[in-house]
Amino acid sequence: MSDPQLVLAARVQAALSAAFGPSYADADPVIRPSQFADLQSNVALPLAKRLEGERGGKQNPRAVAQEILDRLDVSDLVSDVQVSGPGFLNFTFSDEWIAAQAQRALADEHLDVPRAERPQKVIVEYSSPNVAKEMHVGHLRTTIVGDAIARILEFLGHDVVRDNHVGDWGTPFGMLIEHLLDLGEDKAASNDSSVSDLTAFYQAARVKFDGDEEFAERSRKRVVLLQAGDPETLRLWNVLVDVSRRYFNVVYGKLGVTLTDDDIKGESFYNDLLAPTVKELEDKGIAQVSEGALVVFPPGFKGREGEPLPVIIRKSDGGYNYSTTDLATIRFRHDAEHADRVVYVVGAAQALHFQMVFAVAGMAGWTGDMRLEHAQIGNVLGTDGKLLRTRAGGTVKLAELLDEAVERAGTEFDKIERDEPLPAAERADIVEKVGIGAVKYADLSVALDSEYIFDFDRMIAFKGNTGPYLQYAAARIRSIFRRGGVEPQDATGPIVIGHAAERALALRLLGFGAALQQAGDAAEPHKLAGYVYSVADAFTTFFESCPVLKAPDEATRASRLALCAVTLRTLSTGLDLLGVPVPERM
Ligand code: ARG
């Protein structure tokens, strides 16, 4: 482990326990970036307060800091450590230590990022579109963010289960199946227009359901048949599921996400578990009848008038609903899948639903040590600040949106001046990666719960905190190697720090592990995105002030090439974990 922050934290903790006793070994060493040094520990200030009680008298934080310093063994790490201000400890790492750690990262295929000591089984539930409905930009975002979370946790050594909780069950399927029969099964299933126009298909069914009593009646009967497992009805249902699945895969393919058909565990999967789930809630005395429905009142959830809010687990007509399915899902994940952690990457609008369902699951004893978290995805807005819609006011089709991104990336890309044009196939490949990468990075670079404005112009810009800028940074490093006739893997250093920009870059590179850790723990990929961006920035400064191929001497050239190699791997690994593709050149 060579992450400066983590290494230092461990050393300060050791000093704390040596100075004040073993009970201080786990105290937060309060390590922060510092304006006057590389890192700062502010632990002496809270500690002085704590010691006042124990020692029975006022304690001067500066003196406490000095006590820590006296026990602190950091001579191998730092070139300077000082007590400053009201009692801060300021650390400046030695150039030799930084260089040695960068060298370690270079030599290690995992970039010296530690793997989890106790790997967890983590279910990352994401994408989760609905059968026979268009995927919308909300699904785009949950797909992209969820995929990044899954990749990051996997890299950190966890056992990740991708879970696509597709909405493929419930009352709408009665009308959808009847509509399919009315249209003619062959026509609806084989004609590609039905694939691309799921919205129209769904709406047509809805219109008939609302306006045609005979159709509505047929639809209701069909739901009963579906739930009873009637083979012919199940076959028709499967036709609908297949059509949608093909459509989802078109979008997943364009996006380059890691989801496959094997990851689909839709709502239908839990159908047989609904009744036993409800029965257990009844047996445990948690559920009660209210206005004909079976409900649970989780404590603490109140409506506007202060009235207790119910989770309905069986409707008055005897049917189960979305909440029932989610409860059955939690029970299954706990009892059968033995998950340690479940991350629900789902729109923020469902926050209350999840809070209440998690609470009910807790009451039933289905959570135990299993950590359930809702990674709330904020809305995607258009440049007008309203929910993103087509000009006509309809749902934006994801496949078309992605195609437009690629097209616009092409226009931007062709503006770059070059000595000779790229071969058409290579251009197409790059432009595809830039367009898709731009959309994905835009989603990932903002906090996932904040709303964000879908703005092609901004996301496809080659400057600023954008996907193309980062892709370009990686491509630029590759081009240094190409021009120098060196393979990145042959650039082995040794790394020596001789310039402030080299030092700043190397120090940044060492923060990769901590950035990943934070992103993984919080299920917040934007923390990794921010880090990757800061690496690209540090590289730009380095590149502007430190010639690489034309370095003053052979040793400096070798060292700088090695720094370029670690930077390239850090950038491309980081981008890969975000799911942003990296073109060979740009
Ligand atoms: N299919 C739902 C939707 O499109 C999302 C499912 C979220 N996951 C869950 N376990 N309820 O809104």
Quick: pLDDT tens for 459-493: 999 999 999 999 999 999 999 999 999 999 999 99
pLDDT bucket at 32, cuts 50 / 70 / 90:
very high
Look up the pTM and report it.
0.94
pLDDT of the residue at 395: 75
* Percent of residues, the chain, with pLDDT higher than 70: 98
ipTM over 0.90: yes
Q: How many CB atoms neighbour CB 83 within 10 A?
A: 18
Domains of the chain: 4-93 (3.30.1360.70), 172-260 (no CATH)
- Of all helices (H) and strands (E), which one includes residue 347? strand 341-347
Residue nearest to atom 4 of ligand 1 (CA): 129
* Percent of residues, the chain, with pLDDT higher than 90: 82
266 alpha carbon – ligand 1 mean position (Å): 9
343 alpha carbon – ligand 1 mean position (Å): 13
Statement: residue 44 has pLDDT above 80: yes
pLDDT of the residue at 65: 96
Residues with CB under 6 A from ligand 1: 125, 128-130, 165, 167, 326, 344, 346
Query: Structure tokens of 177?
Result: 């199946």
- Give the integer Cα–Cα distance in Å for 293 and 308: 15
Q: How many CB atoms neighbour CB 584 within 10 A?
A: 13
**For ligand 1, what atom is nearest to the CA of residue 166?**
1
412 alpha carbon – ligand 1 mean position (Å): 36
| H-helix segments, 21-89 | 44-55, 61-71
Q: Among 232-246, 265-279, 351-365, 569-583, name the one with the lowest average pLDDT.
A: 232-246
Q: Among 54-63, 79-88, 193-202, 365-374, name the one with the lowest average pLDDT.
A: 193-202
pLDDT of the residue at 192: 53
**126, 162 Cβ separation under 8 angstroms:** yes
From 137, 141, 342, 346, mutation site for ligand 1 pocket: most ligand atoms within 8 A of C-beta: 346
- Count Cα atoms within 13 angstroms, Cβ side, for 340: 10
Instruction: Return the biggest CA–CA distance within the chain.
Output: 87
165 alpha carbon – ligand 1 mean position (Å): 6
- In a 3-state reduction of DSSP, which class is residue 22? helix
167 alpha carbon – ligand 1 mean position (Å): 7
